[in-house]
């Protein structure tokens, strides 16, 4: 039960049920679809960027508590950040959920995002946590029709 | 029905400290000890290539391999053993018919009738033909209860209809389709019928001659047999008119560098060395099913289905998908506000294995406007206690998400 509690922490249940920044961003400058073909989870990430800063982010779609919470927490965390900062957060988060723990990877740096670390004990659910982030990566790299977790 | 759980070594384990409760037999069934032993015995004592050697071992392997073909023939009451073609699975069987029969008999504009409830393996091979030769697909709709709309089916026939490809049972809804009627209606228009029996074969007894379908396909691994083995049953007259699907060893009569003549049925469709050990293992699975009895299996699974349906239906916010009058032991549902994957993870922590997702039936998910669902499916080894464990797990799901 403790691993399960670690996965389904209150923050995740809350963000899964009431995702923040959910819906279509009307004046988005970038838009990217992400898809997990194994389970059918799908998100569309909207970004309004100006001069290398993500001024606003929203997402739409459907998925499990983990994927919705991850997208919700991600959009909250990245608002107002520069592309350079976002790239750093992406790398940090990726290492955090992929279990590449090392000394400089402290929970503090990740803030609220650290709650998603619970997926490490559930290998089949890691992709749920990373769907929004794969989609973000495609936004950063640009020029992809649809990104998948596969 | 006595419990057969003890015949399945894999079920004797604990998962996350809880006894394993396996409720995903529609994805693949577990294997009884006799099947595992048959494969091991074969490799220890009898292995050689089939239909080739003049020596004792090869003759023994060939005998066992062909004995399985006869067993399948008997099991589904086919008229001839050469109407049983071994493939890698139901998927390959359908691809074989689409590519061999379809490409040699269909022209651009010809039509194939399918249904919304088909597994991707009975959709994609026909879509490939659509791209290759320009056939058109006509789709039988499904009612809210999960039954085929037969009046709509009748209206789909046209002079260009060349095939009906339909599942015997839905792998998601559990619906048992009225095959007799479907086949009669098609035959009245001189249209052959391919039946995808993957989700039905291990649940009910079959009689190819009474059913009168033209092709019937299934996989061994969904019927307590090994993975990598499937069957294509086809009527002799149709199989004889079909060109080979793959070229290679075994399927030839005579080869020169200028010209090749093909072997007789069934070998024309069995190019290369087959999955000999697994085919032989399938013999033991069929023998096991025969011993337990298909009637007893059907009754047992129906009892579990009804028990689980009444228990699950009592959960507030839970909607059961597929409420057809005739169903196999498959039960799918969605629960308001909780995604199937989260349910799957929490049930797993209780040792309960179910499937969450689209079940390779995305068009059906679209039909019911859901992204995914939870599927519980029964095998002959399941018991009421397994359903009780599922319900304990469901309680935990509600607790975590309260």
For chain A, say whether B373 makes contact (Cβ under 8 Å).
Answer: no
Q: What is the pLDDT of residues B174-229, one digit of tens each?
A: 999 999 999 999 999 999 999 999 999 999 999 999 999 999 999 999 999 999 99
Nearest to A90 by CA among A81, A16, A47, A104: A81
Spatial separation of the C-alpha atoms in residues B335 and B205, rounded to whole Å: 33
For chain A, say whether B342 makes contact (Cβ under 8 Å).
Answer: yes
Domain that holds residue A63: 2-148
Spatial separation of the C-alpha atoms in residues A46 and A30, rounded to whole Å: 6
Average pLDDT score over chain B? 96
Residue B57 has pLDDT above 90, yes or no: yes
Residue of A nearest to B337 (CA): A17
Size of interface A-B (CB pairs under 8 A): 51
Spatial separation of the C-alpha atoms in residues B179 and A131, rounded to whole Å: 42
Residue for token pair 């794969």: A134
Q: What is the pLDDT of residues B315-335, one digit of tens each?
A: 999 999 999 999 999 999 999
Quote the number of domains for chain A: 1
Give me the domains of chain B, ranges plus CATH numbers.
5-31+294-400 (3.90.1150.10), 35-290 (3.40.640.10)
- Tell which B residues from 15 to 74 touch A, by Cβ distance under 8 Å: none
Element (H, E) at B2: none
* CA A142 to the chain's CA centroid: 17
Average pLDDT score over chain A? 89
Residue of A nearest to B18 (CA): A1
Burial of B336 (0-12, 13-18, 19+ CB in 10 A): exposed
Residue of B nearest to A63 (CA): B339
**Structure tokens of B144?**
């809210």
Residue A102 has pLDDT above 80, yes or no: no
Confidence of residue B37 (pLDDT cuts 50, 70, 90): very high
**Mind telling me how many Å the CA of B25 is from chain A's nearest CA?**
19
**Structure tokens of B252?**
């030839």
Burial of B212 (0-12, 13-18, 19+ CB in 10 A): middle
Contact B255, B278 (CB under 8 A): no
- Identify which of B342, B358, B401 has the shortest CB distance to residue A40: B358
Residue B99 has pLDDT above 90, yes or no: yes
* pTM metric for this prediction: 0.93
Per-residue pLDDT, averaged over B256-261, amounts to 88
What pLDDT score does A124 carry?
A: 87
Question: By three-state DSSP, how is residue B86 classified?
Answer: strand
Interface of A with B (CB under 8 A): 1, 3-4, 7-8, 13, 16-17, 38-42, 62-66, 122, 124-125, 128
β-partners of residue B234 are: B215
Residue for token pair 């004592």: B45
DSSP 8-state assignment for residue B45: I
Q: Which residues of B are catalytic?
A: 360
Strands (E), B94-154: 111-115, 136-140
- Identify which of B337, B341, B358 has the shortest CB distance to residue A128: B341
Residue B1 has pLDDT above 60, yes or no: no
Other CB atoms within a 10 A radius of the CB of residue B264 amount to 10
DSSP 8-state assignment for residue A38: T
Spatial separation of the C-alpha atoms in residues A104 and B42, rounded to whole Å: 56
Q: What angle do CA A12, A106, A9 make, to 5 degrees?
A: 15
**Mind telling me how many Å the CA of B277 is from chain A's nearest CA?**
31
Nearest to B112 by CA among B151, B149, B166: B166
- Identify which of B345, B358, B401 has the shortest CB distance to residue A125: B345
DSSP for A20-35? Answer: TTBS--TT-SEEEEEE
What pLDDT score does A1 carry?
A: 57
What pLDDT score does B3 carry?
A: 80
Element (H, E) at B164: strand B161-167
Nearest to B282 by CA among B74, B35, B4: B35
- Identify which of B356, B372, B400 has the shortest CB distance to residue A8: B400
Question: By three-state DSSP, how is residue B321 classified?
Answer: strand
Chain A neighbors of B345, CB-CB under 8 A:
4, 7, 122, 124-125
For chain A, say whether B371 makes contact (Cβ under 8 Å).
Answer: yes
Chain B neighbors of A41, CB-CB under 8 A:
341, 371
**Mind telling me how many Å the CA of B356 is from chain A's nearest CA?**
8
- Identify which of A13, A122, A124 has the shortest CB distance to residue B401: A13
Confidence of residue A40 (pLDDT cuts 50, 70, 90): confident
Q: What is the pLDDT of residues A45-101, one digit of tens each?
A: 999 999 999 999 999 999 999 999 999 999 999 999 999 999 999 999 998 998 766
What's the start-to-end Cα distance of chain B, in Å?
A: 38
Provide the CATH number for the domain around residue A14. 3.90.1010.10
Q: What is the pLDDT of residues B137-181, one digit of tens each?
A: 999 999 999 999 999 999 999 999 999 999 999 999 999 999 999
Chain A neighbors of B337, CB-CB under 8 A:
17
Mutate to test the interface with B, among A8, A11, A37, A65 (most CBs of B within 10 A): A65
């Amino acid at each position: 039960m403790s691993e399960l509690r670690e996965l389904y922490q209150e923050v995740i249940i809350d963000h899964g049920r009431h995702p923040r920044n959910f819906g279509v961003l009307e004046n988005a400058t970038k838009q990217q679809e992400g898809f997990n073909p194994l389970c059918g989870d799908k998100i569309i990430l909207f970004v309004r960027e100006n001069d290398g800063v993500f001024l606003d982010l929203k997402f739409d779609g459907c998925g499990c508590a983990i994927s919705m919470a991850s997208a919700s927490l991600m959009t909250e965390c990245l608002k107002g950040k520069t592309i350079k900062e976002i790239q750093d957060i992406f790398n940090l988060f990726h290492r955090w959920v992929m279990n590449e723990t090392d000394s400089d990877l402290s929970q503090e740096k990740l803030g609220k995002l650290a709650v998603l670390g619970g997926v490490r004990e559930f290998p089949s659910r890691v992709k749920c946590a990373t769907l929004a982030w794969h989609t973000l990566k495609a936004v950063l790299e640009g020029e992809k029709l649809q990104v998948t977790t596969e | 029905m006595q419990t057969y759980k003890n015949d399945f070594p894999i079920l004797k384990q604990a998962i996350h400290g809880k006894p394993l409760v396996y409720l995903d037999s529609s994805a693949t069934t577990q294997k009884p000890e006799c099947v595992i032993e048959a494969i091991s015995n074969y490799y220890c004592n009898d292995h050689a290539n089939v239909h080739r050697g003049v020596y004792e071992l090869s003759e023994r392997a060939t005998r066992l391999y062909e004995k399985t073909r006869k067993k399948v023939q008997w099991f589904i009451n086919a008229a001839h053993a050469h109407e049983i073609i071994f493939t890698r699975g139901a998927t390959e069987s359908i691809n074989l018919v689409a590519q061999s029969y379809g490409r040699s008999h269909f022209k651009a504009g010809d039509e194939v009738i399918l249904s919304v409830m088909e597994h991707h393996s009975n959709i994609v091979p026909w879509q490939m033909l659509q791209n290759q030769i320009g056939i058109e697909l006509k789709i039988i709709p499904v009612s809210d209860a999960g039954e085929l709309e037969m009046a709509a089916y009748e209206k789909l026939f046209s002079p260009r209809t060349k095939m009906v490809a339909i599942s015997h049972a839905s792998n998601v809804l559990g619906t048992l389709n009225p095959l007799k009627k479907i086949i009669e209606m098609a035959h009245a228009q001189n249209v052959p019928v391919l039946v995808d029996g993957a989700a039905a074969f291990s649940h009910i007894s079959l009689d190819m001659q009474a059913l009168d379908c033209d092709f019937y396909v299934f996989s061994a691994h969904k019927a307590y047999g090994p993975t990598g083995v499937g069957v294509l049953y086809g009527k002799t007259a149709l199989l004889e008119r079909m060109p080979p699907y793959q070229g290679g060893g075994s399927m030839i009569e005579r080869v020169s560098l200028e010209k090749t003549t093909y072997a007789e049925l069934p070998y024309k469709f069995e190019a290369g060395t087959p999955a000999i050990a697994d085919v032989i293992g399938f013999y033991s699975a069929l023998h096991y099913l025969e011993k337990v009895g298909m009637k007893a299996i059907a009754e047992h699974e129906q009892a579990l289905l009804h028990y689980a349906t009444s228990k699950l239906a009592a959960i507030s916010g839970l909607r059961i998908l597929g409420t057809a009058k005739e169903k196999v032991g498959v039960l799918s549902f969605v629960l308001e506000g909780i995604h199937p994957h989260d349910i799957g993870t929490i049930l797993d922590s209780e040792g309960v294995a179910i499937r969450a997702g689209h079940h390779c039936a995305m068009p059906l998910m679209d039909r019911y406007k859901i992204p995914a669902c939870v599927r519980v499916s029964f095998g002959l080894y399941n018991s009421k206690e397994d359903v009780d464990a599922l319900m304990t797990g469901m309680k935990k799901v509600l607790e975590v998400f309260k």
